[in-house]
């Protein structure tokens, strides 16, 4: 790491609210990169020096962070602040200070805007995040067709962009949220990948499922938000605060987030009853952490993605879900309509409702879907 990321000029980083052991570790590891790390418990003792970056640890409250920003703003207005919610402090510092010329292009934002039909501002604000979370699930359907065709799922940036943006296909969580993460980062959001244990539709007496779902945590004005465009039939169409247990309304259902044994339980209200969506782990996942999870979901014989057709799209008017040959339409007022489709009708639904470019070689899959697949319930 030192050879490729060595800074030409010394950078000064201040860690506030971090344990002394974390400060010492960061100082030792970053010395070779010409990054000077300082720790501080009392802001009054730290203001006399200019810094390139200030990192807030989780031990600092929102009011304390606001106070610190106010103190520094009087003489260093362009100072960058970040809140670190994971043990990856060293890498987060390097990532924040990496020269722009050494960063790879994250995503073509203009192509993405065209794909989701969004023409609004691209600024790292809650308004932008909210707008993208409405537009993305309405334009890019959730689907597992390539898995059923044994094509495998490539979650590298080029493959995901080629499929979801340029070929106007859909995808599942590892594709959808990987794309959305890069979009948010390109706009300037502070975003981290997370993993969750899905509980949606599972019987109460079912054994716990493996952690298999990708979601995102976005930091905005020192507040952590959940962003998720990859949860199919019940995708949240608004950012959800992770620091409150109150019900949070969206265009469709209300959601809530509850602390649960070191994790967070995300729930959705369906017909006045709270149902579990997933259990969200707090540990941060790097991009390559998802590789084995994606491989299992797409390739392992026991993966539920391999035994049934799953397609979903959420617009302001309704949630549309296709499970094999069963099409369900659920409107925001709670009305539900169900239809059973044959293979030809499934193809029509994929084109017209889920806005997917149906390929001729999908036909065998659609016939299997209409008959329910051998393993599907």
The answer to whether 373 touches 367, Cβ cutoff 8 Å, is no
Residues 6+ apart with CB under 8 A from 320: 312, 313, 314, 327, 328, 329, 353, 354
Which of 18, 46, 146, 213 is the catalytic position? 213
Verify whether residue 300 is a known catalytic residue: no
Residue given tokens 């539920």 in the structure block: 304
Contact 124, 220 (CB under 8 A): yes
Q: Tokens 């073509």 identify what position? A: 108
Report the SS3 class of residue 3.
helix
How far, in Å, CA of 359 to CA of 372, rounded?
Answer: 20
65 neighbors 79 (Cβ within 8 angstroms): no
Q: Give the active site residue among 18, 40, 173, 234.
A: 173
Whether 173 is catalytic is: yes
Catalytic residue among 52, 146, 161, 228: 228
Active site residue 18: no
Q: Which of 222, 225, 220 lies closest to 257, judged by CA?
A: 225
Using the structure block, give the residue that is written with the tokens 């369906």. Answer: 270
How would you classify residue 307: left for phi > 0, otherwise alpha for psi between -120 and 50, otherwise beta?
Answer: alpha
- Give the span between the Cα atoms of 224 and 246, in whole angstroms: 15
Cα 163 from Cα 180, distance rounded (Å): 14
The whole-angstrom separation of Cα 62 and Cα 58 is 10
What are the DSSP calls for 200-250, one per residue? TT--TTSPPPPEEEEEEEEEETTEEEEE-S--GGG--SS-EESS--S-EE-
Query: What is the set of active-site residues?
Result: 173, 213, 228
């Amino acid at each position: 790491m030192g050879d490729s990321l060595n800074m030409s000029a010394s950078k000064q980083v201040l860690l506030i609210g971090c344990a002394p052991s974390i400060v010492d570790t960061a100082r030792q590891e970053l010395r070779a990169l010409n990054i000077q790390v300082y720790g501080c418990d009392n802001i009054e003792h730290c203001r006399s020096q200019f810094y390139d970056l200030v990192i807030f640890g989780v031990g600092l409250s929102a009011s304390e962070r606001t106070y610190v920003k106010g103190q520094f703003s009087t003489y260093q207005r362009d100072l960058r602040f970040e809140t670190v919610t994971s043990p990856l402090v060293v890498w987060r510092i390097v990532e924040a200070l990496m020269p722009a010329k050494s960063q790879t292009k994250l995503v073509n934002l203009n192509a993405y805007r065209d794909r989701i039909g969004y023409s609004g501002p691209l600024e790292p604000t809650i308004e932008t995040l909210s707008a993208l979370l409405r537009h993305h699930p309405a334009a890019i359907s959730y689907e597992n067709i390539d898995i059923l065709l044994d094509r495998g799922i490539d979650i590298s940036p080029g493959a995901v962009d080629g499929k979801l943006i340029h070929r106007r296909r859909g995808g599942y969580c590892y594709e959808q949220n990987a794309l959305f993460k890069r979009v948010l980062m390109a706009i300037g959001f502070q975003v981290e990948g997370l993993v969750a244990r899905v509980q949606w539709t599972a019987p109460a007496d079912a054994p716990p499922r493996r952690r298999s779902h990708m979601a995102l945590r976005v930091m905005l004005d020192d507040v952590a938000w959940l962003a998720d465009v990859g949860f199919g039939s019940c995708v949240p169409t608004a950012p959800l605060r992770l620091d409150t247990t109150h019900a949070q309304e969206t265009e469709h259902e209300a959601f809530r987030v509850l602390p649960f044994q070191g994790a967070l339980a995300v729930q959705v209200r369906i017909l006045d009853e709270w149902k579990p969506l997933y259990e969200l782990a707090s540990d941060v996942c790097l991009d390559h952490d998802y590789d084995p999870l994606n491989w299992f979901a797409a390739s392992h014989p026991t993966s539920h993605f391999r035994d049934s057709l799953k397609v979903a799209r959420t617009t302001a008017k309704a949630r549309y879900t296709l499970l094999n040959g069963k099409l369900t339409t659920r409107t925001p007022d709670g009305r539900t309509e169900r239809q059973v489709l044959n293979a030809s009708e499934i193809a029509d639904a994929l084109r017209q409702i889920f806005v997917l470019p149906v390929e001729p070689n999908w036909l065998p899959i659609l016939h299997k879907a209409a008959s329910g697949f051998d393993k599907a319930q």
